[in-house]
């Protein structure tokens, strides 16, 4: 089933955040139907830096290629601002689509952007954003590749302006709408009440962010079609890594941490080493 067909169903799609082949493989094994490749997660893990527009389009495309090589699950990828104007956004569409992305999320912040749950964001004019969306639609090779239009206007221009911008992006041809960082459950409900049934809606759950954490079931009842948890895996692994390195530094050994980590065979089981080696033996020319 294509991502477009899946989000047309009544059941909400939960897309966990991933940032490399390992996290993608583990999420796929957990039974998820789609994945979300966050620009923030790539900045956090590849650069060790905050989400303030430091990642490049090629770094994101390279990461997308590695994930697509590891799992066939559809991936929603963060395209930030399209990395420039409408022509840059078209190039981003071509690069990401060739890398295997099923959907591109593009936002109306100025470039360089910053995390949607940070303050002091700035926006481009709605007409310019609408032009980017049309340009991306013209550049895509497949109509199955979705364009998710995100507006960050709530924190900059207010809630009503965000709804107005989302309307403009719907008219420009967006396949999914993403009104970023609603500040209350009431605002989540208002977004859904305004757009549900007209276009699929995406909700973003950021632990400690501006939006109250809301479960998939409650979001489905409101009318949302997709919920992403983009950076949760990085926060979980960073928390574990802090404890791991502190333990190793203190003890000079991993023995005290052994019950909180895979051993050699355990990790090989997770990444499928036995199956990969068996697959390789099919091609080694040894009939014995």
Domains of the chain with bracketed CATH: 3-231 (3.20.20.60), 238-281 (no CATH)
Instruction: Give the model's pLDDT for residue 208.
Output: 86
CA torsion, points 154, 160, 162, 167, in degrees to nearest 10? 170
Q: State the residue for tokens 């590849």.
A: 46
CA distance 59 to 41: 12
Q: State the residue for tokens 């107005």.
A: 164
pLDDT in tens, the chain (288 residues): 799 999 999 999 999 999 999 999 999 999 999 999 999 999 999 999 998 889 999 999 999 999 999 999 999 999 999 999 999 999 999 999 999 999 999 999 987 776 656 666 789 999 999 999 999 999 999 999 999 999 999 999 999 999 999 999 999 999 999 999 999 999 999 999 999 899 999 999 999 888 999 999 999 999 999 999 999 999 999 999 999 999 999 999 999 999 999 999 999 999 999 999 999 999 987 754
CA distance 210 to 213: 9
Q: What is the C-alpha radius of gyration for the chain, rounded to an integer number of angstroms?
A: 20
Instruction: Give the model's pLDDT for residue 121.
Output: 76
Tally of helices (H runs) and strands (E runs) in the chain: 12, 8
Long-range interactions of 236-244: CB distance < 8 A, separation 24+: 238/44
Instruction: Tell me the three state secondary structure of residue 44.
Output: helix
Instruction: Give the model's pLDDT for residue 195.
Output: 97
CB distance 59 to 39 below 8 Å = no
Instruction: Give the model's pLDDT for residue 287.
Output: 57
Query: For residue 261, what are the contacts with CB-CB under 8 A and spacing of at least 6?
Result: 244, 254
Give which of 232, 273, 275, 203 is closest to 23, Cα–Cα.
Answer: 232
């Amino acid at each position: 089933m294509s991502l477009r067909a899946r989000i047309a169903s009544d059941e909400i799609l939960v897309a966990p955040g991933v940032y490399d082949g390992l996290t993608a493989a583990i999420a796929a094994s957990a039974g998820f139907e789609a994945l979300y490749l966050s620009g923030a997660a790539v900045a956090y893990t590849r650069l060790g830096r905050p989400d303030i527009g430091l990642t490049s389009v090629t770094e994101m495309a390279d990461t997308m290629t590695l994930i697509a090589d590891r799992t066939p699950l559809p991936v929603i990828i963060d395209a930030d601002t399209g990395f420039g104007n409408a022509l840059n956004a078209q190039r981003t569409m071509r690069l990401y689509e060739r890398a295997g992305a099923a959907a591109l999320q593009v936002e109306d912040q100025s470039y360089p952007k910053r995390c949607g749950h940070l303050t002091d964001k700035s926006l481009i004019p709605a007409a310019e954003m609408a032009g980017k969306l049309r340009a991306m639609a013209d550049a895509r090779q497949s109509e199955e590749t979705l364009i998710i239009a995100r507006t960050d206007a709530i924190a900059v221009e207010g809630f009503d302006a965000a709804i107005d911008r989302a309307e403009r992006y719907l008219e420009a041809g967006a396949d999914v709408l993403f009104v970023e960082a609603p500040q209350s459950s009431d605002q989540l409900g208002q977004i859904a009440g305004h757009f549900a049934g007209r276009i699929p809606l995406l909700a973003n759950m950021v632990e400690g962010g501006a939006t109250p954490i809301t479960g998939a079931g409650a979001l489905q009842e409101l009318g949302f079609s997709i919920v992403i948890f983009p950076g949760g895996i990085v926060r979980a692994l960073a928390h574990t890594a802090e404890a791991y390195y502190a333990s190793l530094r203190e003890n000079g050994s991993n023995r005290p941490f052994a019950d909180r980590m895979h051993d050699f065979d355990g990790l090989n089981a997770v990444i499928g080493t036995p199956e990969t080696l068996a697959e390789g033996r099919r091609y080694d020319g040894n009939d014995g």
